[in-house]
Amino acid sequence: MEPKSLAETAELVSGLVKIPSVTGNAAKAGEAADFIVKWLGENGVSAKIKEFEKGFPTVIAQAGSGSRSLMLNGHLDVVPEGDHAKWGHDPYSGLISGKTVFGRGSVDMKSGLAVQMRLLSDFADKTDFRLIFAAVSDEETGGFNCSKHLAEEYLVDTVLVGEPGGSELIGVGEKGLLDVRLSGRGKTSHASRPSLGDNAIMKVVRDLERLSKVGEIDIQFPTELKEILQESIKENGKDVGIITFNPGTINGGTKLNVVPDACESDVDMRIPPGISIDNALSRIKGLLKEVDVSLLITSEPNYTSPTIPEVAKFIRIAKKHAPNARLIIKNGGTDGRYFRSKGMPVVAFGPGNYGLMHTYDECVSFSEIARAYDIYSEFLSSF
């Protein structure tokens, strides 16, 4: 990447960071969307804003034509900044110090978005394929209002999601989500005579203990992902390969001296590729003995085969520029899942250290921005 272009792209990251487009804030999402449209306009690309759902803008731009198509997909929403006092700099100052851009979203994923915007501008008049750019505003809350609709409207040959990975982690798969509610029902009695009642809290507690063994369920990992799984475990720990279990809330009972007749606990479980939601759910029901289970939010685990020619090419190019480039399965979900569920190959790749996502003093280095640009650029040139 040319130094001048890099400096401008870093400025663009800073400009995006200055808009506190915290997920769910429709006004700020609109402001960020307007900013993107204006920047693209000033850089030779006409873009429009579409609201598939009211209050959730998606910036869409298209360049080039031809039978083949590629989508650059990024998100403009960020997670809240948390406690201001814990930041060394104002999270929304967009401070550029040395060769680093600081602030909320600099990693996740306004640097990736800026790289995609720069690419769109640079490639707009020289592609012999359809290049589609989409900046969505609700990735951090599940993508139901933007990317879900994009995946229904656009059938493209490849999707590049600009999620962070230090410009060296190549996301080809991600875990699914299985959020459930356990409901225990019992019978009230006076606490002095508990034998006359049936304690619903204890039913839930005992079943939570049983469910905590969910990580022992054997997963038939797809063969082509086995090596990637080992890399991912090195990168992100063993959680990536198992069904994880987190009871996040528990509510029950009415008063200290009353045996409770109702209790509920909401449990977050993440499912790796190799087991479906249906299969996981039936295994889970097999573990539970005393409560009812109902589904809250679910999404299937998903992956893109690294042997698909365009994906293999992206991997080759990434390894050329980043010797440490490696494939990973992400512990969390991205909007990529909507496109994978429609059969489209998806690669998640972008600047910004994975470990700095959603943290205080989130920051991104110029070198990661440049490397992401160079890899994307070479891929687009040869697409």
CB of 358 to Zn ion, least distance (A): 9
Give the distance, in angstroms, between the CA of residue 227 and the centroid of all CA atoms in the same chain: 22
Interface residues with Zn ion (CB under 5 A) are: 108-109, 163
Q: In the chain, what is the straight-line distance between the N-terminal and C-terminal CA atoms, in Å?
A: 19
- Measured at the alpha carbon of residue 78, what is the angle toward residues 76 and 84, in degrees to the nearest 5? 140
Q: At what angle do helices 111-123 and 3-17 cross, to 10 degrees?
A: 130
CB of 164 to Zn ion, least distance (A): 7
Residue nearest to Zn ion (CB): 108
Nearest to 5 by CA among 369, 314, 350, 317: 369
* Nearest residue (CB) to Zn ion, 137 versus 158: 137
CB of 303 to Zn ion, least distance (A): 18
CB of 290 to Zn ion, least distance (A): 38
Under 8 Å between Cβ of 291 and 203: yes
Distance CA 161, CA 111 (A): 12
Distance CA 87, CA 360 (A): 5
* Nearest residue (CB) to Zn ion, 163 versus 264: 163
Distance CA 110, CA 136 (A): 11
* Nearest residue (CB) to Zn ion, 173 versus 186: 173
* Nearest residue (CB) to Zn ion, 288 versus 356: 356
* Nearest residue (CB) to Zn ion, 198 versus 335: 335
Nearest to 295 by CA among 180, 184, 204, 214: 180
* Nearest residue (CB) to Zn ion, 143 versus 184: 143
Tokens of 247: 């009871």
CB of 110 to Zn ion, least distance (A): 10
CB of 74 to Zn ion, least distance (A): 8
